[in-house]
Amino acid sequence: MKNSNIRKIIFSIYAVGLLAFPLMTVWNQQSIFDDGSIYKFKCAPIDPNDIFRGKYVQLGFDNNFIPKSTLSIDIGQTVYGRIAIDQAGYAFVTEIANVPFGKETYLELQNVQDQGDIIRFDYPFNRLYMNEEKAPKAEELFRDELSNTDAEIYARVYITEGRFLLDDVFVNEMTLKQLVE
């Protein structure tokens, strides 16, 4: 009888653990939507030749550099970028540092490179995952629209406390997912 109770307790703890992990992941992502601020990052063309490309749309962004005069970093360490919004409503990095910016909106930047007078970096959200049958068509549409100088193309990203969630990419106020359906 005692052995049976121990097994039930161990099984209950195991079951709660199995349910807790996915629920915490969903709660974490949902909290970004609920608490995060929305930022628009203007998209830019990128080299479409990527031999490791999977079933997603590869994104490139304007404003992925900052003048060296605004630096307080050691390249090779984790680098954070303070986010601001320009007059056209697009988000960009105003300053970078090796420590988070506290209560201000910031992101951890990737592939930070010293290129003379500027520091170039990648935003951490450079892939829009989609249905694998629709992704190639969406990427082709995305690249075609980027060559149209009149098109307004941007990624809508929720950001809070250094965490982010790429919501969707918009082409002239329609989502890329809507355009390929």
What is the domain count for the chain?
A: 2
Looking at the fold, whether 97 and 146 belong to one and the same domain comes out as yes
From CA 106, how far away is CA 75, in angstroms rounded?
17
Residue 68: Cβ within 10 Å count = 13
Looking at the fold, whether 65 and 15 belong to one and the same domain comes out as no
| Domain range for 23 | 1-35
Looking at the fold, whether 146 and 66 belong to one and the same domain comes out as yes
pTM over 0.75: no
Q: What is the pLDDT of residue 31?
A: 80
Looking at the fold, whether 149 and 167 belong to one and the same domain comes out as yes
Looking at the fold, whether 70 and 133 belong to one and the same domain comes out as yes
Reading the block at residue 67, the tokens are 């003048």
8-to-5, 16, 56, 82 alpha-carbon distances in Å: 5, 12, 44, 50
Looking at the fold, whether 90 and 141 belong to one and the same domain comes out as yes
Q: What is the pLDDT of residue 87?
A: 92
Q: What is the pLDDT of residue 91?
A: 93
Encode the chain (181 residues) as per-residue pLDDT tens digits: 567 778 888 888 888 888 888 888 878 778 877 877 777 877 775 544 455 555 677 788 888 888 886 566 777 788 899 999 999 899 999 988 888 888 888 999 888 888 888 888 889 988 888 777 787 788 888 888 888 778 888 999 999 888 898 888 898 888 888 888 8
Reading the block at residue 15, the tokens are 């079951």
Q: What is the pLDDT of residue 49?
A: 45
Looking at the fold, whether 20 and 105 belong to one and the same domain comes out as no
From CA 17, how far away is CA 168, in angstroms rounded?
32
Looking at the fold, whether 92 and 175 belong to one and the same domain comes out as yes
